[in-house]
């Protein structure tokens, strides 16, 4: 998820960078209150430093494939507000929901490092992360991607079929919880589980995975947006995300649940909006 400004009705500006939200607020205040030019310059330097770090991380990371670049382009070109107004989708979505080049390559690297063959993605959107992970899988590998919207699923399917790796992706439409319970009943296991759907459902998705032995031996669960725009660790006032107070504690409670789950160990990775990597405790530490 990018930290750059964009016109997105879903994701607030600088969603994953609360310090940037505060600095831009401070900058606006300094312009109105007549703060000295030196202080205003220093504020701008701070903003530029944060943006430069993000840009550098993007620029030094390997480029995404042509298929993913086209997927991102087509997602940005789509008028999602119009799609919502027509009633083709039930919730407002936007390009800010894309995984992005940096995190997409990060996921691809993790899949490659773990020699994974089966991946479960909970929350597809237009397929940025699904295709990135599929590119790292062997020819007989599979990404099972769960998406609630039939319209978005068809949109993603068309784009992913333009890649030779698209055949590795199986899109299942419907509520994620229902599809996960069906997969559990059928005895499916996955080497990587990437959860990036409605945050209120994270607890259910995690419990279904862990309680039904859906994680393969030495498998890893990856939780996206684990810092949730800063709301995981900031008060509503300091998060500067007005109107989102009702969901302020959702991710915090989920993170605490995982932390207190004796079955697992985890590490918070502060990439973009945070990725929580979870593994069974007996596989997190080596034997002595």
Q: State the pLDDT confidence band at 6, using cuts at 50, 70 and 90.
A: very low
Query: Is the confidence at residue 1, as pLDDT, over 50?
Result: no
The pLDDT confidence band at residue 2, using thresholds 50, 70 and 90, is very low
Encode pLDDT of 230-240 as tens digits: 999 998 888 88
- Quick check: is 211 in a domain? yes
Q: What is the pLDDT of residue 240?
A: 87
The answer to the question of residue 11 being in a domain is no
Task: Tell whether 143 and 27 lie within a shared domain.
Answer: no
Of 28, 60, 92, which residue sits at a domain end?
60
Are 217 and 200 within one domain? yes
Q: What is the pLDDT of residue 284?
A: 81
Measured distance CA(57)–CA(255) in Å, rounded: 26
Asked whether residue 197 carries a pLDDT value surpassing 90, the answer given is: yes
pLDDT at 17 over 50: yes
- The pLDDT of residue 81 is 94
Looking up residue 164, the CATH number of its domain turns out to be 3.40.50.150
Structural domain contains residue 8: no
Q: Based on the fold, state whether residues 117 and 215 are members of the same structural domain.
A: yes
Residues 37-68 pLDDT 10s: 999 999 999 999 999 999 999 999 999 999 99
Please check whether residue 172 is in contact with residue 147, taking contact to mean a CB–CB distance below 8 angstroms.
yes
Q: Please check whether residues 204 and 220 belong to one and the same domain.
A: yes
As a whole number, mean pLDDT of residues 82-108 equals 94
The answer to whether 136 touches 111, Cβ cutoff 8 Å, is yes
pTM greater than 0.85: yes
Residue 262 has pLDDT above 60, yes or no: yes
Q: Are both 158 and 216 inside the same structural domain?
A: yes
pLDDT value at residue 3? 36
One domain, residues 150 and 104: yes
> 3-state SS string over the chain?
CCCCCCCCCCCCCCCCCHHHHHHHHHHHHHHHCCCCHHHHHHHHHHHHHHHHHHHHHHHHCCCCCHHHHHHHHHHHHCCHHHHHHCCCCCCCCCHHHCCCHHHHHHHHHHHHHCCCCEEEEECCCCCHHHHHHHHCCCCCCEEEEEECCHHHHHHHHHHHCCCCCHHHEEEEECCHHHHHHHHHHCCCCEEEEEECCCHHHHHHHHHHHHHCCCEEEEEEEEEECCCHHHCCCCCHHHHCCCCCHHHCCHHHHHHHHHHCCCCEEEEEECCCCCEEEEEEHHHHCCCC
Q: Give the number of domains in the chain.
A: 2
Could you tell me if 53 and 84 lie in one domain? Answer: no
Q: Which residue has the higher pLDDT, 250 or 111?
A: 111
Confidence class for position 246, pLDDT limits 50, 70, 90: low
Considering the domain architecture, whether residues 98 and 124 belong to the same structural domain is answered as yes
What is the domain extent for residue 162? 66-284
With bands split at pLDDT 50, 70 and 90, how would you rate the model's confidence at 107?
Answer: very high
Average pLDDT, the chain: 92
pLDDT (tens digit, 9 = 90+) per residue, 132-171?
Answer: 999 999 999 999 999 999 999 999 999 999 999 999 999 9
Q: Residue 3 falls within a domain, yes or no?
A: no
């Amino acid at each position: 998820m990018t930290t750059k400004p964009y016109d997105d009705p879903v994701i607030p500006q600088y969603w994953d960078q609360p310090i940037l939200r505060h600095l831009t607020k401070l900058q606006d205040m300094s312009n109105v209150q007549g703060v000295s030019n030196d202080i205003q310059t220093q504020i701008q330097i701070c903003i530029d430093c944060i943006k430069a770090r993000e840009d550098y991380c993007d620029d030094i990371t390997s480029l995404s494939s042509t298929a993913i670049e086209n997927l991102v382009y087509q997602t940005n070109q789509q008028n999602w507000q119009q799609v919502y107004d027509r009633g083709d989708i039930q919730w407002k979505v936007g390009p800010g929901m894309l995984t992005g080049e940096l995190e997409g390559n990060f996921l691809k690297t993790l899949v490659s490092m773990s020699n994974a063959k089966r991946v479960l993605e909970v929350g597809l959107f237009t397929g940025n992360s699904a295709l990135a992970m599929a590119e790292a899988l062997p020819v007989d590998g599979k990404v099972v991607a769960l998406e609630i919207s039939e319209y978005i699923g068809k949109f993603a399917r068309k784009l992913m079929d333009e890649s030779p790796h698209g055949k590795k992706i199986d899109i299942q439409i419907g509520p994620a919880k229902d599809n996960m319970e069906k997969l559990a009943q059928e005895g499916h296991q996955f080497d990587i589980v990437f959860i990036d759907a409605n945050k209120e459902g994270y607890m259910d998705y995690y419990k279904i995975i862990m309680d039904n032995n859906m994680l393969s031996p030495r498998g890893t669960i990856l939780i996206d947006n684990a810092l949730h725009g800063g709301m995981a660790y900031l008060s509503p006032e300091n998060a500067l995300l007005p109107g989102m107070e009702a969901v302020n504690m959702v991710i915090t409670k989920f993170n605490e649940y995982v932390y207190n789950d004796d079955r697992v160990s985890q590490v918070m990775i502060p990439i973009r909006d945070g990725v929580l990597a979870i593994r069974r405790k007996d596989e997190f530490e080596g034997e002595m």
